Structure 1
Amino acid sequence: MKIAIGYELVFECPKPTPMILTLSVHYTRVSDMIIPDHMVADPPVPIRAYRDRFGNWCSRIVAPAGRLKLSTDALVNDTGLADVVVPEARQTPVEALPDDTLEFLLGSRYCETDLLSDTAWRLFEQTTPGWPRVQAICDLVHNHIRFGYEHADATKSAWSVWNDGIGVCRDYAHLAIAFCRCMNIPARYCTGYLGDIGMPPPYGPMDFAGWFEAYLDGEWYTFDARNNTPRIGRVLLARGRDAADVALSNAFGANELKNFLVRTDEVPDS
């Protein structure tokens, strides 16, 4: 299938403001791009790109004083298949984990393993290690948190959402990631496009989505504690330890986000 993706962000800045933007499709999907997701700035500004230490494609700009619109419209090929489910995937002992997975066992800005470790072991010690354990974590997190866009809070952490029981997709991911790490399963945060392809209506407002990947049996597998069901049409933007590593925008000065739109739709075959 083909999926049309895009965004429109409008910023208002009182003076020229440097920004880092993580809005480009991940390099693992570049070969799927039919129409590339080039960032368009209005008014035009120089855009310089680089890869961060996680391999994410980031853009550097200096937003001018006043209004700046950033947008893209792209088209991507997709298999049309739902997320892979491998119930037999085993948990790898810590001593056998590859070196590059180890940082995804550690606590991070939004995933406080030190505060949640005792709770995690109390809840999940009796679960079967491997895929069943990660799925048990997703089941609990899915049922524990009440979703609502009004609960979005850029400072909310896994510890906070565990205590509050409310949040948005990134909060589901952060809590599940923290519990996985507490149980010695490497887990990393993902952000990207995820539409309602294959899902029944009604449909909510479109936004970028947050999910996570867990390392089992030598592979990274997709899990989604918010939806807690295999989904079709994920288009990855970025991966990191948590949302702090993959923020859509980091501005180094005063700014206001005046408008925010995300598009992701299946394109019918002509």
Structure 2
Amino acid sequence: MLIHIGFDIELAVASPTALIYMLHVHPSRAADIQGEAGERVTICPQLHADHYTDVFGNHCARVDVPQGVGKIRLRNEAVVFDTGWPDAVNPHAVTDHPAHLPTGTLQFLLPSRYCEVDSELLQLAWNLFGNVAPGWQRVQAICDFVHQRVRFDYACARATRTALDVFRERVGVCRDFTHLAITLCRCMNIPARYATGYLGDIGVPAAPYPMDFSAWFEAYLGDRWYTFDARHNVPRIGRIVIARGRDAADVPITMLFGANTLERFEVTTEEVVAAPAVAQAEGV
């Protein structure tokens, strides 16, 4: 299948600043972008962007915003090929002991900005999931717990909410579900990393609120990373990852080093549906 993606983001700035944005499709999916033009990312006014890859392998860019700009607008549009397969499910995937894990996964066992592994959640996790079969079943049990405990509410979004806050407050948005699930996985010695990207309403009823970027997580089981989503808690079709990190602090879609106001935020994620063929009468 083909998926049309894009965004339109406008920020008002009061003084010269630097803007870092992490909005390109992740390099692991770059080959799936259709057309010679690829992604059509534009910056208005036209400002130079320095592109680089961060320590997690994400495509990032830095923009020097001079005096007098006032507003900066970022737009993108692309069509991405996707298999149309739902998230992989493997009930037989196992958990390895930390002594035997690939060293590149070990950073995803440690506490991070929003994931307080070294908190009361550590003992809670072992109390709740210590008797669940290790591996896939244990990660799924964690997702079930978070999905049932936390209520989704856009109006309650808060940038400072940590996993422990989510557990106590029992409300949040997709990043909050993700942070709590990641933390509980790490408490159980399962490497878990944060992912953000596009997730449209493909194969499911349309959600009754504006499209947004989504957050989910990946757990390392056996010899690979598997996708899990405590917010929706069902395999989904059409995830297009933008960035991965330890938690949301590593993958902000935009970061400005100065006062700014978000004035426009629109995200597009939809399946490209071919127009039906029109039969023509003979002789026309």
TM-score class normalised by the smaller sequence: over 0.9
Give CA-to-partner distance per residue, 1:33-82, whole Å, 9 cap, x none.
00422320111111110000000000100234301111001110000110
Amino acid at match of 1:66: G
Q: Which residue of 2 aligns with 1:37?
A: 39
| 3-state SS in 2 of match to 1:127 | coil
Give CA-to-partner distance per residue, 1:240-262, whole Å, 9 cap, x none.
00000001111111111111000
Greater than 4 Å deviation, 4+ residue runs: none
Give CA-to-partner distance per residue, 1:143-162, whole Å, 9 cap, x none.
11100111111111001000
Q: Which residue of 1 aligns with 2:100?
A: 96
Q: Which residue of 1 aligns with 2:272?
A: 267
C-alpha separation between the residues in 2 aligned to 1:203 and 1:135?
A: 27
Identity of aligned residues (%): 52
Q: CA RMSD in A?
A: 0.9
C-alpha separation between the residues in 2 aligned to 1:151 and 1:128?
A: 34
Give CA-to-partner distance per residue, 1:109-151, whole Å, 9 cap, x none.
0000011101111111011100000000000000111001111
Is the aligned partner of 1:226 residue 2:231?
A: yes
Q: Which residue of 1 aligns with 2:22?
A: 22
C-alpha separation between the residues in 1 aligned to 2:233 and 2:197?
A: 17
Q: Which residue of 2 aligns with 1:208?
A: 213
Is the aligned partner of 1:158 residue 2:163?
A: yes
Q: Which residue of 2 aligns with 1:67?
A: 71
C-alpha separation between the residues in 2 aligned to 1:248 and 1:38?
A: 17
Kept in 2: contact 1:196–1:203 (CA 8 A): no
Which of 50, 55, 58 lines up with 1:56 in the alignment? 58
| 3-state SS in 1 of match to 2:34 | strand
How far off is 1:94 after superposition?
1.1
| 3-state SS in 2 of match to 1:221 | strand
Kept in 2: contact 1:198–1:232 (CA 8 A): yes
Which of 242, 245, 251 lines up with 1:240 in the alignment? 245
1:67-216 correspondence to structure 2 within 5 Å: 67-115=71-119, 116-216=121-221
| 3-state SS in 1 of match to 2:236 | coil
C-alpha separation between the residues in 1 aligned to 2:168 and 2:248?
A: 19
How far off is 1:202 after superposition?
4.7
Kept in 2: contact 1:41–1:70 (CA 8 A): yes
Q: Structure 1 190/202 Cα, relative in aligned 2: closer, same or farther at 3 Å?
A: closer
C-alpha separation between the residues in 2 aligned to 1:269 and 1:202?
A: 23
Q: Which residue of 1 aligns with 2:281?
A: none
Kept in 2: contact 1:18–1:63 (CA 8 A): yes
TM-score by length of 1: 0.98
C-alpha separation between the residues in 1 aligned to 2:166 and 2:173?
A: 10
Give CA-to-partner distance per residue, 1:223-250, whole Å, 9 cap, x none.
0000000000000000000000001111
Kept in 1: contact 2:201–2:207 (CA 8 A): no
How far off is 1:169 after superposition?
0.2
Q: Say which is worse superposed, 39-48 or 56-65, in terms of deviation.
A: 56-65
| 3-state SS in 1 of match to 2:72 | strand
Question: Structure 1: which 5+ residue stretches go unaligned?
Answer: none
How far off is 1:205 after superposition?
1.5
Q: Say which is worse superposed, 11-20 or 134-143, in terms of deviation.
A: 11-20
Give CA-to-partner distance per residue, 1:201-240, whole Å, 9 cap, x none.
4543100000000000011000000000000000000000
Kept in 2: contact 1:192–1:208 (CA 8 A): yes
Number of matched pairs: 270
C-alpha separation between the residues in 2 aligned to 1:120 and 1:202?
A: 31
TM-score by length of 2: 0.93
Amino acid at match of 1:193: Y
